[in-house]
Structure 1
Amino acid sequence: MPFHGSPFTSDLSPAARVDELAKNRGNQVAIVYEGSTYTYAALAAQSRRLAAVLSDSGAVQGERIGYLGGNSLAFLTTFLAAARIGAVFVPVNSRLTAPEIALILDDCAPHSLIVEPGHREIVASALAENDNDGIELLWAPGDPVLDGSTTSPAFADVALDEQFTDARSVRQRCEADQVAMLTYTSGTTGYPKGVELTHGNLWWNGVNLDMAAPAMPGDITLVVAPLFHTAPFGCFTLRTLLRGGTVVLRRDFEPAQLLADLVDYRVNTVFAVPAMFAAAAAVPEFADADLSALRTAVTAGAPAHAELIGRYLDRGVTLQQAYGLTETLFATCLPAHKAASAPASAGLPLPYTEIRVVDPASRSVLDEPGACGEVCLRGPTVAGGYRNNDVATAASFDAEGWFHTGDVGYLDDDGCLYLVDRLKDMIIVGGDNVYSAEVEQVLGHYPGIIDVAVVGVPDPYEGESVVAIMLCENGIEPSLPELRRFAQAELARYKLPTRVVHAEKIPRNAMGKIDKVTIRAVLADDDEHRFSDAATGSPARTADAASRLGAGGLRTLASLPADEQRRAVFDLVTASIARTMHTAPATLTAQDRFDDLGLSSLAAVELSRGLGFALGRRLPTTIVFDHATVGALVKHLQTQLAAEVRRSPALEHLTEFERVVRQDPPGEALRTELRTRLRSSLNRLAADEAPATAATARPDPVAEASDSELFILLDAALGSV
């Protein structure tokens, strides 16, 4: 059955807990923020001050209070002030565009929006999008980092009243099932959805995580990831504050600064995505940094590879991989003692979380260890649903309280969870499932690879095909055949990429997750320069060469020297392969084997048909299968075409005709007669070379040419005669 609240009736207000700490340990440092320190007394007083301002402006229990800005003291103050009046805190991703912000404001209809001064222009644009004039706009107060001194008159003028009994800041009780936060998903599945997290969800999350990655009273935790995500905020910042610890808060991530903070502040707990931990490990001082105080280091948002985990283990630090979603908060965490033996696992279920794997289609439970299916979660940390979206809520939250994550994974014999992919990122090749994360793991071991993303793109023969976008070290740029040969020992043939794109950057979101929506959109738009300034390959040259041969057919081939004949046929073949496989022609060589290119049987037949169409010939459908390499096919076609050229009496006649004319230049009257004869000969040539039964063959351009077009051909043949 669905989880209904908490088994107790205590007040779960975070503002009440901060007030208690302020009363009993007021001089203890709660926040270290960019060179300034703030005690629990100061934090409580500032939140009361803002709560009074919000109350005076008409905000009441259940209203939404938004915050738009970066990591700051004002972010935490706004959360506590909202809880104090029983309102719902809405953290808005500070990296969104004005239209994206407008969508969120329109959905949550906030009473007030607290805005950092640096976001004034984008907020003005967002408000104008949907005519949201009814929102109370307040500038974030008292922040030593924010630009300018402008604050709202309310913040600047309201006197600080240290009395806890101030009527304007009377604290509301927060029940377990009362919505505390409305946090919006990243929108990778479409329209952003507002997840309604209750005070009970947040409270149980702290209890749950303490069992595997504890935060002790008095701990110092470092926060560098964006607070608008639930992992750094709910799982670490809030947990530390409610236990009376100290939060070292940074506005931005900088690798050397993260490492220095770990050492200088003797940090006990930290959360960061794998890319952040990797960047810190690359700092020269990492080898000698004193990390002995660091007890709990949790990473999530993307897989942490064994090599990265090993680097930290060598320094005495265990990176514990965790897994959760906005809708569930943390659900699993890898125990420290399993980090070395199960580095690929997302961990064991947290004590108050249930996990099961179900068949995505039938939703029947898959009990067998290793059975792959959709991961489902249930427990007191799971949200109740989405705001204003009954359809999405019904699709993801079932009647028994299980949340269907959309992630594909399996449980091993020990109950450890292994994630394979997102359902929406699963690629279906000819009816077989390909999990992009599995392919990424294998390709990630290629020497010199820095980053890799794998996505599926529409394919007319197999439904979808596998594309790898790779960021490599300088001078390393594996070709498609090299990459397929490297991976074929670990991946089935249908899982191997059929296209590789070399990039200077791979899009990721703020939590370090690969932005596959953007990647698929870029590939669909053939806009690969967005990955790199220098596009892979040079299709313009090959396409031009191929079009010359296709347009001129045998006549063009006959007029070329032997080496240029081979190049023209090679360009035609590679351009045809490129069109069939949606890849770059210039990345192919004569030595490339068709087996290494990943051509399906249907694609090979289509390639044969396309080549025949381009050459005006009916080619056997097995012609690609009959030749092991690109070069072998090119040689076969060149030999066949050259032989057909030699056998053409009409062309031989025209060649002799041209030789005679060049030796004895004609006068004007003879030129007119020659043009008439040439037209007749060209038309006969077109008829001779046209396939007798190939109804789908491309019409010869000479046969359909106008007189003026034929005269141009004649003048080109006779030169200056």
Structure 2
Amino acid sequence: MLNITTFLDANMRRLSKNVFHCPERGTYYNSEEILSIASGLAEKLKEKGIEKGDRVLIYLNNSPEYLFSYFAIWRIGAVAVPTNRVYTKFELDYMIQNAGVRLVITDEDGVDSFDEENSSFSILVPAGIEEMRNHPILLPTETDPEDLCQIQYTSGTTGKPKGAMLTHGNWLAAISNEVDVMEFVESDVYLGIYPMGHVGLSWGIAALRSGALYIMMERFELENYLHLIETHKVTALSGMPPVIHSFVNCPEGTEERVKTVREIISGGGPLHNEIWKTFHHRYNIPVVNAYGLSETIVIGTGTVIRPVDYATADKFQSVGHPVCFSEVKIVDENDPNRELEQGEIGEIALRGPAVAKGYYGMPEETKQVFLADGWFLTGDIGYLDADLRLCLTDRKKDMIVMSGWKIYPTEVEDALLECENVEDVAVFSYPHPHRGEVPIAAIKYKSNVSQIIAISVFAKSRLAKYKVPVDFLEVEEIPRINGWKTSRKILNEKYSEYIEDFEKEYLKTKSPSSQNQSFKTSTNDMERTNGQNVNRSSKF
């Protein structure tokens, strides 16, 4: 038998200290109280008719109720379907139908997002959890390592969201690897900011497993984040590229506020080497740069740079070696049976104990990426460096193919971030009548002084001609999914009217040979789209 919640039983017998804290409410919980509350919620699930194998959707904000709902669902052998509170009713309806959800856990504000009367599912509002601290502890339902405990929906940036089928065994691997990587001990204090509907929650559960104190932020706000680090003497931080970027731009003296931190996690998107390097030299805090996916519960199967790697990881561009029992290889994007040589760029494939069983209800999509020999095709592009560390290049779908040339947006972004006045950047593609696709850069500058001409010259000095963006958009913010993953799709849609103007300008040129000639630029006129100020320049 393996029920993932039984680590709480083990901790309850040996620890009496608080291991979970919600600062917004001022509440603390020890392992026994967590298990008691989870048992109380589990009883309510059973009263609603939920049994082993039934699907239960969670629709809550980051909160103690969210965490305890996971444990309650897993405790009785049911299957959690976590969602993000920003999901629309259309997205929720799709997941409910696709997963065959029998019950929804939400709060009073979330009830209106569901039509219980005309549906095949019921609703539970988990009120009064503080009264359950002394609830009798429910014995765990017997489950096997291969039994499902979660259907984790991907972001669905292409086509419909896919529900990765995660098991109790997958979660055991993820928690074990994350405790190992972070070297969590009982004296640690971990500050978690990841949405609880995301597999990044696993870092927090790993902290609980080790007996460390897991502090949960309901929502990320930089000043409060720094305040919590100071107040609670946080030793391990959850982060992401935008957070680390924010640290780089923090005022002098911030170093003192985070002096207790011994490591910070980065994941959810590429960490540009210039930002990583600047952060490291200023704060001297090792970045645990991790690579994994929803389908692998982050680094349940994946790779990571650990603090011990820093003696030789001076290029600040790798996501490291595979974690325990995991394997990585690079394969031909068009022929996954052909493994590429060291240094060759191709699709990243992973194999290991936390790879999902496939996509729920999607046999064809499952066959395409979950191969018969256990390898999972990630859809990410990268290569293995001289030390056999994995280096990310981009998402397969984000790669730009211009006149046969392959352009990786992250590489271009890394180069542009070296420009002194560039604060943030995202490179995305746009269809082109002659070249198929072209790269376009959206840039947020550190000052209000227009830098469009300067950035164009700088890009030419750092990049091969074909990699230089053909158009530059000056923007106020780079759009990100859940505050961390750059959304190139949103950029493409948001600024399509400006890009279309650019395309018309191109069509006025007489031949492809004139493509490197500059034409009309506008560095003073500010235009607005969807409430966003844009200073636009075109060049070819």
Calculate the TM-score normalised by the size of structure 2. 0.88
The answer as to whether partners of 2:226 and 2:257 remain within 8 angstroms in 1 is no
Q: 1:38 aligns with which of 29, 37, 52?
A: 29
Q: 1:272 aligns with which of 207, 228, 239?
A: 239
Q: Residues 70 and 280 of structure 1: is their aligned pair in 2 closer, same or farther, counting only changes over 3 Å?
A: farther
Q: How does 1:172-571 map to 2 (within 5 A)?
A: 172-231=141-200, 233-234=201-202, 236-280=203-247, 282-284=249-251, 286-289=253-256, 291-304=258-271, 305-328=273-296, 329-330=298-299, 331-339=302-310, 341-479=314-452, 482-510=454-482, 512-524=484-496, 526=497
**Cα distance in 1 for residues equivalent to 2:21 and 2:252:** 23
Task: Output one character per residue of 1:191-226: Cα deviation in whole Å (capped at 9) or x when no partner.
Answer: 111111111111112222344332223432111121
The answer as to whether partners of 1:256 and 1:280 remain within 8 angstroms in 2 is no
Q: 1:134 aligns with which of 120, 136, 143?
A: 120
Q: How far apart are 1:63 and its partner, in Å?
A: 0.4
For 1:455, what is the secondary structure of its paired residue? strand
**Cα distance in 2 for residues equivalent to 1:181 and 1:511:** 24
Structure 2 residue 17 is matched with structure 1 residue 28: yes
Q: 1:80 aligns with which of 71, 88, 93?
A: 71
The answer as to whether partners of 2:379 and 2:395 remain within 8 angstroms in 1 is yes
**Cα distance in 1 for residues equivalent to 2:371 and 2:118:** 34
Q: How far apart are 1:296 and its partner, in Å?
A: 3.2
**Cα distance in 2 for residues equivalent to 1:230 and 1:106:** 22
The answer as to whether partners of 2:432 and 2:503 remain within 8 angstroms in 1 is no
**Cα distance in 1 for residues equivalent to 2:282 and 2:126:** 43
Q: How far apart are 1:21 and its partner, in Å?
A: 2.6
Q: Residues 64 and 286 of structure 1: is their aligned pair in 2 closer, same or farther, counting only changes over 3 Å?
A: farther
The answer as to whether partners of 2:370 and 2:376 remain within 8 angstroms in 1 is yes
Q: 2:510 aligns with which of 600, 608, 628?
A: 608
For 2:482, what is the secondary structure of its paired residue? coil
The answer as to whether partners of 1:88 and 1:180 remain within 8 angstroms in 2 is yes
Shifted more, 218-227 versus 380-389: the winner is 218-227
Shifted more, 176-185 versus 303-312: the winner is 303-312
Task: Output one character per residue of 1:73-131: Cα deviation in whole Å (capped at 9) or x when no partner.
Answer: 1011111111111001111111111111111111112221110223233x23xx48xx8
Q: Residues 286 and 260 of structure 1: is their aligned pair in 2 closer, same or farther, counting only changes over 3 Å?
A: farther
**Cα distance in 2 for residues equivalent to 1:406 and 1:288:** 37
Q: Residues 282 and 39 of structure 1: is their aligned pair in 2 closer, same or farther, counting only changes over 3 Å?
A: same
Task: Output one character per residue of 1:482-522: Cα deviation in whole Å (capped at 9) or x when no partner.
Answer: 43321223322122111112212221011511111222223
Letter in 2 for 1:108: A
**Cα distance in 2 for residues equivalent to 1:630 and 1:75:** 54
Q: Residues 307 and 498 of structure 1: is their aligned pair in 2 closer, same or farther, counting only changes over 3 Å?
A: closer
Q: How far apart are 1:415 and its partner, in Å?
A: 0.9
Structure 2 residue 481 is matched with structure 1 residue 579: no
For 1:327, what is the secondary structure of its paired residue? helix
Letter in 1 for 2:18: V
For 2:324, what is the secondary structure of its paired residue? coil
For 1:384, what is the secondary structure of its paired residue? coil
**Cα distance in 2 for residues equivalent to 1:315 and 1:465:** 38
Structure 2 residue 48 is matched with structure 1 residue 49: no
Q: How does 1:613-652 map to 2 (within 5 A)?
A: none
Q: How far apart are 1:281 and its partner, in Å?
A: 5.1
Q: Residues 308 and 103 of structure 1: is their aligned pair in 2 closer, same or farther, counting only changes over 3 Å?
A: same
Task: State which structure, 1 or 2, has the greater radius of gyration over its C-alpha atoms.
Answer: 1
**Cα distance in 2 for residues equivalent to 1:284 and 1:519:** 30
For 1:65, what is the secondary structure of its paired residue? strand
**Cα distance in 2 for residues equivalent to 1:343 and 1:258:** 25
Letter in 2 for 1:214: E
Count of residues in Structure 1 that have an aligned counterpart in Structure 2: 512
Task: Output one character per residue of 1:373-413: Cα deviation in whole Å (capped at 9) or x when no partner.
Answer: 00000000111111111111111111111110111100012
Q: Residues 399 and 511 of structure 1: is their aligned pair in 2 closer, same or farther, counting only changes over 3 Å?
A: farther
Identity %: 26
Q: Residues 493 and 312 of structure 1: is their aligned pair in 2 closer, same or farther, counting only changes over 3 Å?
A: closer
Match of 2:93 in 1: 102
For 1:201, what is the secondary structure of its paired residue? helix
**Cα distance in 2 for residues equivalent to 1:242 and 1:289:** 30
Task: Output one character per residue of 1:206-252: Cα deviation in whole Å (capped at 9) or x when no partner.
Answer: 22234433222343211112111112x11x11111122222111101
Q: How far apart are 1:356 and its partner, in Å?
A: 0.3
**Cα distance in 1 for residues equivalent to 2:129 and 2:136:** 23
The answer as to whether partners of 1:43 and 1:77 remain within 8 angstroms in 2 is yes
Unaligned runs of 5+ in 2: 521-540
The answer as to whether partners of 2:39 and 2:136 remain within 8 angstroms in 1 is no
Task: Output one character per residue of 1:31-63: Cα deviation in whole Å (capped at 9) or x when no partner.
Answer: 111211122222111111111111111100000
The answer as to whether partners of 2:53 and 2:78 remain within 8 angstroms in 1 is yes
The answer as to whether partners of 2:4 and 2:172 remain within 8 angstroms in 1 is no
The answer as to whether partners of 1:68 and 1:94 remain within 8 angstroms in 2 is yes
Q: How far apart are 1:256 and its partner, in Å?
A: 1.7
**Cα distance in 1 for residues equivalent to 2:206 and 2:49:** 30
The answer as to whether partners of 2:423 and 2:446 remain within 8 angstroms in 1 is yes
Q: Residues 628 and 434 of structure 1: is their aligned pair in 2 closer, same or farther, counting only changes over 3 Å?
A: closer
Give me the CA root mean square deviation: 2.6
Q: Residues 629 and 83 of structure 1: is their aligned pair in 2 closer, same or farther, counting only changes over 3 Å?
A: closer
Calculate the TM-score normalised by the size of structure 1. 0.67
Match of 2:538 in 1: none
The answer as to whether partners of 1:470 and 1:503 remain within 8 angstroms in 2 is yes
The answer as to whether partners of 1:63 and 1:87 remain within 8 angstroms in 2 is yes
Task: Output one character per residue of 1:575-602: Cα deviation in whole Å (capped at 9) or x when no partner.
Answer: 9x76143xxxxxxxxxxxxxxxxxxxxx
The answer as to whether partners of 1:72 and 1:143 remain within 8 angstroms in 2 is no
Task: Output one character per residue of 1:288-321: Cα deviation in whole Å (capped at 9) or x when no partner.
Answer: 5254442332111123333444334443421121
**Cα distance in 2 for residues equivalent to 1:393 and 1:336:** 35
**Cα distance in 1 for residues equivalent to 2:282 and 2:477:** 29
**Cα distance in 2 for residues equivalent to 1:32 and 1:629:** 57
Structure 2 residue 4 is matched with structure 1 residue 14: yes
Letter in 1 for 2:71: L
**Cα distance in 1 for residues equivalent to 2:247 and 2:454:** 32
Which has the larger share of helix? Answer: 1
Q: Residues 200 and 286 of structure 1: is their aligned pair in 2 closer, same or farther, counting only changes over 3 Å?
A: farther
Letter in 2 for 1:579: K
Unaligned runs of 5+ in 1: 1-10, 145-155, 529-538, 540-574, 582-602, 610-620, 632-721
Match of 1:58 in 2: 49
Letter in 1 for 2:510: S
**Cα distance in 1 for residues equivalent to 2:255 and 2:263:** 19
- More relative contact order, 1 or 2 (CA 8 Å, 6+ apart): 2
Q: How far apart are 1:268 and its partner, in Å?
A: 2.5
For 1:111, what is the secondary structure of its paired residue? strand
